[in-house]
Chain A
Amino acid sequence: MSALEENTVPVTRKVTRPAFHRRLTPVAIVYIALAALLVVGSVLVGLRGEVLLDQAGILNIFTRATALGLVAIGQTMAILTGSLDLSVAYLVGLTSLIAAETMGGRDGMIVPGVLLALVVAAGVGLVNGLVITVLKANAFIATLGVALILRGYLEDTYTGPAGDVPRGFQHLGYDRIGPVPVAALLMLAVAALSWWYLSRTRPGYHMYAVGGDIEVARLSVVPTRRTIVTAHVLCSVAAGLTGIYLASRLGSGAPYVGTDAGYDLESIAAVVLGGTLLAGGRGGVVGTIGGVFILATLDTIFDDLEVDPFFKDVVRGVVLVTAVALYARRMTANRARGRLT
């Protein structure tokens, strides 16, 4: 976990900053950026004689935010604890297959399918957490190793999409209220639950403590191991929920649905874009959701403008680094003034 602690040592340098950024928390910056993006996007799309935020546009943004949002909520927990999870992408594929195959087109098997997928996900999270805490492997390499094992299993076992989701369950992926998909509301509900867990419960508080300084946390009798394992289990369960949601949307399970979408690195990008410190200890789910919506909105604007797909990557990379640079400057400015945020 210490792998990601670079640049968190207070830098002893004088930084004079205009008063503007100092007052703003990263969460505020994220949502201001999102609002600005919506305005700029609406203008750009408007210039082509189209509307960004019409029914279809809103539906698009919410749909795109759902799957990534679920993974990123889980990733937030892992990162807050000072860890990270590179195995989520393969886990999304695996759980989509488990859910779809267990259901096998039968309405009666929906609940067992969902439960089994979640149990397997939790199991993978447990393995991640135990490898990190008991075997003392660095989170990066531990979850990369687990990702490779999952990949081997998927490649060896599956030859393409498999399983069949009953129609009743597909409503989860396709129903909407006005322009807002039901699944997006569920994702937001999961986010709200996570927010409550992180900011209002003792185990949630422990996550911040462990991510902030594991030694201090240990001395303060925080159960560090249990906290890290819990974070990984929750992270994997969130990935499991994503797999279940995608199964309902695709009508079957697909081994590479998570990796094709690059959910491993993209979820980490969304989390740090949302203002959570990569080294852990600071940030939260509210910012992450903002980050996810920024990425989803960018995607929708790109599509409306018919931007070259390769150009999209360039913009994403620049946005990511710029945002994190902005947060970093704000933080050093605060530190220079002896303030704690």
Chain B
Amino acid sequence: MINRWAVVVVAGALALAGCSSDLPDDKAPSAGSPSSSGGSPSSDAGKSKFFDQAEYDRQLAFRNATPEGPDGKPWEQMLQPEMVDTAKFAKPGGNYTLCFSNASVDNPWRQVGYKTMQQEVKLHPEIAKFTVLDAEAKDDKQISDIQSLSGQNCSAIIISPNTTATLTPAVEQACKTGVPVIVFDRGVNTDCQATFIHPIGGFAFGADGAEFLKEKVKPGGKVLALRILPGVDVLEQRWAAANEIFAGSGLNVVGVEFTDGDAAKTKGIVTDYIQREGQIDGVWMDAGATAVAAAEAFQDAGVDVPAIVGEDQQDFLRLWADEGLTAVAPTYPTYQWRTPIIAALKILKGEQVPKEWVLPQPRITGDNVKEYVKQDMPPLHYAMCGCEDMPGYPGPWK
């Protein structure tokens, strides 16, 4: 009824003139998206529905692959690239307008990344203008943002999607304008973009931490898993991988708790578990924002901090180095914010780029943690920013 009605409106309005639709062509159906099933989460065999064996194997293999590209510049490196020709986008001569639709800047990770990206833009005089629209974490606003960028004279459109499935139509629409579209961080369910840039991914991140615990914690040891919140695909992947590894490890996962990313709540939960279990032998986390709070819960309870998984935030790295913790920090490197700019310029110059640009995803271990500790940087600064050699460092990040 409604669709028939919509047709009537369309037909009628066409007669009135001036009617149009911004709905992208239907050549890349968004069906078959990995998350279109919904319903209650299946818990059969204890496996997350986010667990995908093929992708899991692929990501774990990526960790051992040798990246191509310049040494010491991981943001320009690529893993097992399949280069594609971009000649159709070539627009030599410089004076580019790069447009960027950002999901949000509402957390320290995105702040560090965005600042790094802004500095990267300054490195390239051929970029005449850098237009940024911030969606403030609203899908609907990001759709309008992308729509509005599509109407401007952008040389290339860079998109960091707020959500995977829901932004697919908008990205397809941007592709339709004929300028190269570069997607990074989270992906979308289409392959119309010129390149999709991302570090190895959530499975590798989750596995890095879980494997570390498997190695350091004695068999049968008690492991507490702390997650931020359910329903975020990146975080679900991290947990799915860890869950997979714990399942065959002989470790005893005594609890899986959601912290909302709240440090006080995290500390409370860990304190409860220390009291309840008597002893916790390892802590796995799907993101490091509250790792310090978790470690402090042990210190305040007067026990040694057990093997712990964090991330590359300065406050955790400092605590780790100072206290000599047994820890590992898988990273979701913020240097990936440099790559879209580099990729855009490559494409505009007609150079080849990989269709899927997989960046290396290093982890920080006890051997190299001291290299990453930067005493004068803010506590929530991410060490893996690849920004130390940039001209303005450390000004904008401080």
Contacts and interface: CB of A to CB of B under 8 A. Distances in A.
- A touches B (Cβ under 8 A): yes
Interface of A: 55-56, 59-60, 63-64, 67, 97, 101, 105, 107, 110-111, 114, 155, 157-164, 166-178, 182, 246, 249-257, 260-261, 299, 303, 306, 309, 312
Contacts of B26: 167
B23 A159 contact: no
Contacts of B37: 162
B52 to A, nearest CB: 14
A5 B367 CA distance: 63
B168 interface: yes
Contacts of B233: 159-160
Contact of A155 (B106, B168, B231): B231
Given A64-B144, A170-B169, A261-B141, A157 B23 contact: no
Given A55-B151, A159-B49, A306-B132, A246 B140 contact: yes
B231 to A, nearest CB: 5
A16 B12 CA distance: 55
Contacts of B19: 175-178
A250 B131 CA distance: 24
Contact of B131 (A155, A169, A251, A306): A306
A178 to B, nearest CB: 4
A157 B39 contact: yes
B90 interface: no
Nearest to B258: A155
Contacts of A249: 140, 143
A266 B132 CA distance: 24
A176 B19 CA distance: 6
Given A157-B39, A159-B236, A249-B140, A257 B166 contact: yes
Contact of B13 (A60, A169, A177, A252): A177
A107 B5 CA distance: 13
Nearest to B168: A251
B3 A168 contact: yes
Interface string B26-50: 1000110101111111000000011
Nearest to B6: A171
Contacts of A299: 141
Contacts of B20: 175-176
B166 A56 contact: no
Contact of B40 (A157, A175, A257): A157
Contacts of B164: 160-161
Contact of B38 (A158, A256, A309): A158
Chain B contact-residue range equals 35 or more
Contact of A252 (B1, B165, B232): B165
B369 to A, nearest CB: 32
A64 B141 contact: yes
Closest 8 CB pairs of A and B: A162-B38, A250-B166, A168-B3, A174-B23, A161-B165, A178-B18, A56-B151, A175-B21
A172 B2 contact: yes
Contact of B163 (A55, A164, A254): A254
B36 A164 contact: yes
B148 A60 contact: yes
A173 B18 CA distance: 17
A59 B166 contact: no
Interface of B: 1-3, 6-7, 9-10, 13, 16, 18-23, 26, 30-31, 33, 35-41, 49-50, 104-106, 131-134, 136-141, 143-145, 147-148, 151-152, 162-169, 229-233, 236
22 contacts: A60-B144, A64-B141, A97-B38, A110-B1, A111-B1, A157-B38, A159-B236, A160-B164, A160-B236, A162-B35, A162-B39, A167-B23, A172-B6, A174-B22, A177-B13, A182-B9, A246-B139, A250-B139, A251-B30, A252-B33, A257-B138, A260-B138
Given A168-B7, A170-B169, 16 more contacts: A55-B151, A155-B230, A159-B35, A159-B49, A159-B50, A160-B164, A161-B163, A163-B38, A164-B30, A174-B23, A182-B9, A250-B166, A260-B137, A303-B148, A306-B131, A309-B134
A34 B26 CA distance: 38
Nearest to B150: A56
A200 B119 CA distance: 59
Contacts of B137: 260
Scoring B50, B140, B141, B236 by chain A CB atoms within 10 A of each residue's CB, the highest score goes to B140
A128 to B, nearest CB: 24
A29 B230 CA distance: 45
Contact of B18 (A111, A169, A177): A177
Contact of A303 (B2, B9, B145, B162): B145
Scoring B10, B141, B164, B165 by chain A CB atoms within 10 A of each residue's CB, the highest score goes to B165
B113 to A, nearest CB: 15
Given A56-B151, A56-B152, A67-B140, A309 B105 contact: yes
A340 B19 CA distance: 46
Given A111-B1, A261-B138, A161 B35 contact: yes
A171 B10 contact: yes
Contacts of B147: 56, 59-60, 63
A80 to B, nearest CB: 26
A182 B23 CA distance: 13
Scoring A114, A157, A171, A312 by chain B CB atoms within 10 A of each residue's CB, the highest score goes to A171
Nearest to A242: B140
Nearest to A105: B31
